[in-house]
């Protein structure tokens, strides 16, 4: 099981990184968690985005899903029967995609022609290829969910999504092999009374309370890089999540630093056609929205 940071930025554009995008792969399955601005271009340096088995969006802020537009332009204009790419959205996400098609002056079926847009029920588990997905509510300004991905051997990655301090996220992360947690704020001074983001120090504290052996901090601005580095240095197994960081989760854990050219992260899944397309991709435990 392998995690690759594609993007670790926020809604604020920055040259160092795309916005939110985490790739989780096994030998046969590839799932992208979040698809913020710049993520598809970054992913193209790792693997063909058209080979993904699913994209999961934790909440409907633009920096977590807006690059679904970019990916759509990579896919066949009229779609390919049986090969629509599953896009798993939180409740009410489908309506947002319909509104987005109108906002960018495309026809109403623009996304449906290439995506299989599904709304997940956060109370239910899903099966995508050989990965099992479960969801945990975060504490954010809009409804938002973290995602836990488990492989057949029981190895597990928990991705917090956007959240303020949350016992629910801590509880969900307990027993995971790796926690990916946001670290957005320089200070809590301007956050809402009901917190919606974390400082780097709070992110590390949540990882410590969960007892996870390894942690990756993401969703931070360039000016926080030194803070994130310092926070990670104080906890063994914690790493700053920069684009290209690869973490192998297995019997002999390995970490490949960002930008080292590790080829393993780009290994495509088997079973693709000569044109880069895939056959029908089944999602168990979910029905199409609408």
Radius of gyration of the chain from its Cα atoms, rounded to whole angstroms:
18
pLDDT tens track for 59-105? 999 999 999 999 999 998 765 555 799 999 999 999 999 999 999 99
121-146 mean pLDDT? 96
For residue 78, what pLDDT is reported?
65
Grade residue 252 by pLDDT with cuts at 50, 70 and 90. Answer: very low
What are the tokens at 202? 């709070």
- pLDDT of 113 higher than 60: yes
Work out the percent of the chain whose per-residue pLDDT is above 90: 80
- pLDDT of 254 higher than 70: no
For residue 74, what pLDDT is reported?
92
For residue 289, what pLDDT is reported?
38
The residue whose two tokens read 């597990």 is: 156
CA quadruple 211, 212, 218, 219: dihedral, nearest 10: -50
For residue 278, what pLDDT is reported?
46
- pLDDT of 230 higher than 90: yes
Packing angle of the helix pair 200-210, 225-233 (nearest 10 deg)? 30
- Domains within the chain, CATH numbers bracketed: 2-249 (3.60.15.10)
Q: Three-class SS of residue 149?
A: strand
Grade residue 253 by pLDDT with cuts at 50, 70 and 90. Answer: very low
């Amino acid at each position: 099981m392998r995690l690759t940071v594609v993007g670790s930025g926020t809604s604020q554009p920055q040259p160092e990184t795309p916005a939110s995008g985490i790739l989780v792969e096994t030998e046969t399955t590839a799932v992208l968690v979040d698809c913020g601005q710049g993520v598809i271009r970054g992913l193209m340096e790792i693997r063909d985005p058209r080979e993904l088995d699913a994209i999961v969006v934790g909440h409907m802020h633009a920096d977590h899903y807006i690059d679904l537009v970019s990916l759509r332009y990579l896919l066949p204009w009229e779609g390919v029967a049986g090969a629509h790419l599953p896009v798993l959205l939180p409740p009410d996400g489908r309506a947002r995609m319909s509104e987005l098609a109108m906002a960018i002056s495309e026809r109403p079926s623009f996304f449906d022609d290439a995506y299989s847009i599904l709304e997940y029920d956060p109370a239910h588990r899903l099966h995508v290829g050989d990965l099992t997905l479960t969801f945990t509510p975060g504490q954010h300004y809009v409804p938002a969910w973290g995602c836990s991905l488990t492989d057949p051997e029981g190895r597990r990655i928990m991705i917090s999504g956007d959240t303020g301090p949350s016992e629910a996220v801590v509880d969900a992360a307990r027993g995971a092999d790796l926690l990916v947690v946001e670290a957005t704020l320089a200070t809590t001074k301007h956050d809402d009374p009901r917190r919606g983001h974390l400082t780097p120090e709070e992110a590390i504290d949540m990882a410590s309370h969960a007892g996870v052996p390894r942690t990756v901090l993401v969703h931070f601005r360039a000016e926080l890089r030194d803070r994130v580095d310092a926070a990670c240095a104080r906890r063994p197994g914690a790493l700053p999540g920069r684009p290209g960081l690869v973490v192998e989760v297995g019997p002999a854990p390995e970490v490949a630093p960002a930008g080292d050219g590790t080829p393993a992260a780009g290994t495509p899944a088997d079973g693709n056609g000569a044109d880069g397309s895939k056959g029908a991709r089944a999602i168990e435990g979910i029905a199409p929205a609408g």
